[in-house]
Chains A and B, each alone.
Chain A
């Protein structure tokens, strides 16, 4: 059942090395841009650069299907969702990154980053992997990457596949519940219908971010 995983001998040609260098540079610069940018929209655009760099690296590692899925799902859907929420909430004001409420956060972050870097560099000298045999099947050889990945997902990893589909349903239901406005009771409904123009004015004064529909119940009062 398990194949012996023979490591592939990678031949580094000049185009390979050049592609790796350019896309790795794109990934690093994009990641820096995400963290350093003051404007969240600039961060989202830098994230797109990072995701495209990672997709190119996926192609170089012979994971063609994952590169396409990465571009479509991550850069095409998730970043677009980020931008929707950024625009909806209007947080594209410039944040003051010098002010830090939790004082210990930055030194601790730098410390942990250095610790992880040291760990990676130390582990690079010792053995990377355990040498256990492969469970899912080999990645190289004849046949397309998509067919190998599909046969792996739909046979060996069928249970995680079904569980992730359930997870997606849960996520969709959760998003719908979170985005919904809770309707009020019948008594309040009568009051609000009578005072609808006033409620519309209240909403405009409160600066309600996304509410355009005047026919629905107005937003609940802020909790005191």
Chain B
């Protein structure tokens, strides 16, 4: 599931870069730079959460995590 988030972020990055070239604007590439940084930070924290949850229960299926519901 996490890798699909990376796929979506890559799709957005590719769109930004393409339009940065089509519109002759370097701002699109700057935004891709920041999206990359945010994606890396998100992967770090997300995988940390997964490891922390997996220590409680030996399962990583995202649909079963309704125990977090208040």
Contact = CB atoms under 8 A, between A and B. Distances in A.
B41 A102 contact: no
A78 B6 contact: yes
A77 B40 CA distance: 9
A101 B37 contact: no
A101 to B, nearest CB: 4
A149 B54 CA distance: 41
A24 to B, nearest CB: 10
Contacts of A134: 23-25, 27
Interface of B: 2-4, 6-7, 10, 13-14, 17-30, 32-34, 36-45, 47-52, 54-56, 58, 60-61, 63-64
6 contacts: A7-B23, A58-B17, A138-B24, A139-B28, A171-B44, A178-B48
B33 to A, nearest CB: 6
B14 A54 contact: yes
Given A43-B3, A136-B27, A137-B27, A149 B33 contact: yes
A60 to B, nearest CB: 9
B38 A102 contact: no
A66 B32 contact: yes
Interface residues of A, number: 72
Contacts of B30: 136, 149, 152-153, 156-157
A194 B23 CA distance: 70
A140 B7 contact: no
A85 interface: yes
Interface stretch (A11-19, A44-52, A183-191): A44-52
B27 A91 contact: no
Given A54-B13, A61-B18, A167-B41, A81 B27 contact: no
B10 to A, nearest CB: 5
B61 A85 contact: no
Given A50-B10, A78-B43, A175-B45, A139 B25 contact: yes
